[in-house]
Amino acid sequence: METLITVNVIIADRNYRIKIQPDDEAVLRKTVKIINDKIKEYKQVFAGKDMQDYVAMVLLWLATEQTKSPLPVAEEQTITQSLQQLETLVDGFLNQTQL
């Protein structure tokens, strides 16, 4: 079992310490960037709102994007990992039979 790492992220000008699997760091950082970029976008379009309003708007946007997706992101990642494992097994089997 992998050891969890601590990652500091800033969302909506607030700092958060999160413990995650090392393999999840890139996905987490990409998600944080998307969230912060969307907050900036909403600040320009809806000037004068409270930061909590912007965070709520981004949350609604993300939830809507997830429901439009054919597969939840977590499920898609699981399927991709399973396919990669199967590919490795098949490649290993083919290499053994060619010897």
Residue 34 and residue 70: Cα distance in Å, rounded?
A: 20
- Domain assignment present for residue 5? The answer is no
pTM of the model: 0.65
58 falls within a domain: yes
What does the pLDDT look like over 22-49, one tens digit per residue?
999 999 999 999 999 999 999 999 988 8
The answer to whether residue 40 is domain-embedded is yes
On whether residue 15 sits in a domain, the answer given is: no
Answer yes or no: is 7 within a domain.
no
Q: What is the mean pLDDT of the chain?
A: 84
* Helical residues (DSSP H) of the chain, grouped into ranges: 25-45, 51-68, 73-97
pLDDT value of residue 97: 66
What's phi and psi for 29, nearest 5 deg?
-65, -40
Average pLDDT over residues 38-62: 90
- Give the orientation angle of helix 25-45 with respect to helix 51-68, to 10 degrees: 120
The count of domains in the chain is: 1
- What is the pLDDT confidence band of residue 65, given thresholds at 50, 70 and 90? confident
- The CB-based long-range contact list for 73-76 (8 Å cut-off, 24+ gap) reads none
With bands split at pLDDT 50, 70 and 90, how would you rate the model's confidence at 18? very high
Q: Where in the sequence is the domain holding 43, given as residue range(s)?
A: 23-97
Please report whether residue 68 resides in a domain: yes
